[in-house]
Amino acid sequence: MLKVTALNHSYGAVQALREVSLEAPAGAITCVMGRNGVGKTTLLRSLMGQLGTNRGEVRLGNNDISRAKAHLRAKLGLALVPQGREIFPKLTVEENLLVGLSARRDGSRRLPELVFSTFPILKDFRKRMGGDLSGGQQQQLAIARALVGDPQVLMLDEPTEGIQPNVIDLIGDVLQRLAAQGMAIILVEQYFEFIRRIGHRYVVMDRGRVVDQGLVASMDTAAVGKHLSV
Ligand SMILES: Nc1ncnc2c1ncn2[C@@H]1O[C@H](COP(=O)(O)OP(=O)(O)O)[C@@H](O)[C@H]1O
Ligand SMILES: [Mg+2]
pLDDT in tens, 132-176: 999 999 999 999 999 999 999 999 999 999 999 999 999 999 999
For residue 172, how many C-alpha atoms fall within 13 Å in the half-sphere facing its CB?
Answer: 19
Measured by CA distance, the residue closest to atom 24 of ligand 1 is: 37
**DSSP calls for 92-117:** BHHHHHHHHGGG-SS---SPPHHHHH
* pLDDT in the model for residue 135: 96
Give 147: exposed, middle or buried? Use CB within 10 Å, 0-12, 13-18, 19+: buried
CATH number at residue 8: 3.40.50.300
Q: Which domain holds residue 192?
A: 2-84+154-228
Confidence of residue 6 (pLDDT cuts 50, 70, 90): very high
Q: Structural domain tally of the chain?
A: 1
Q: Which residue has the higher pLDDT, 225 or 32?
A: 32
Classify residue 186 by burial, with Cβ atoms within 10 Å: 0-12, 13-18, 19+: buried
Going by C-alpha positions, the residue among 217, 214, 198, 11 that lies closest to residue 227 is: 214
Asked whether 11 lines ligand 1 (CB < 6 A), one says yes
Flag whether 160 is in a domain. Answer: yes
Is the pLDDT assigned to residue 53 strictly greater than 80? no
Residue 138 lies in a domain: no
**Integer Cα distance of 226 and 223 in angstroms:** 5
Inform me whether the pLDDT recorded for 230 exceeds 70: no
Report the 10 Å Cβ neighbour count for 146: 22
pTM: 0.96
53 alpha carbon to ligand 2 midpoint, in Å?
20
What pLDDT was estimated at residue 36? 95
In a domain, 54, yes or no: yes
Q: What is the C-alpha to C-alpha distance for residues 185 and 31, in angstroms, rounded to an integer?
A: 8
Cα–Cα distance measured from residue 147 to residue 100, given in angstroms and rounded to the nearest whole number: 8
Identify whether 221 is part of a domain. yes
Residue 132 forms part of a structural domain: no
Does residue 120 sit within a domain? Answer: no
Cα distance between residue 28 and residue 48, in whole Å? 19
Report the pLDDT averaged over residues 172-181.
98
Note whether residue 139 is domain-resident: no
Q: CB of 188 within 8 A of CB of 175?
A: no
Atom nearest to 34 CA in ligand 1 = 22
Tell me the CA–centroid distance for residue 82 and ligand 2, in Å. 9
Q: Is the CB of 34 under 6 A from ligand 1?
A: yes
When the pLDDT of each residue in the chain is averaged and rounded to a whole number, the result is 95
Query: 94-137, pLDDT tens digit by residue?
Result: 999 999 998 998 989 999 999 999 999 999 999 999 999 999 99
Q: What is the pLDDT of residue 24?
A: 98
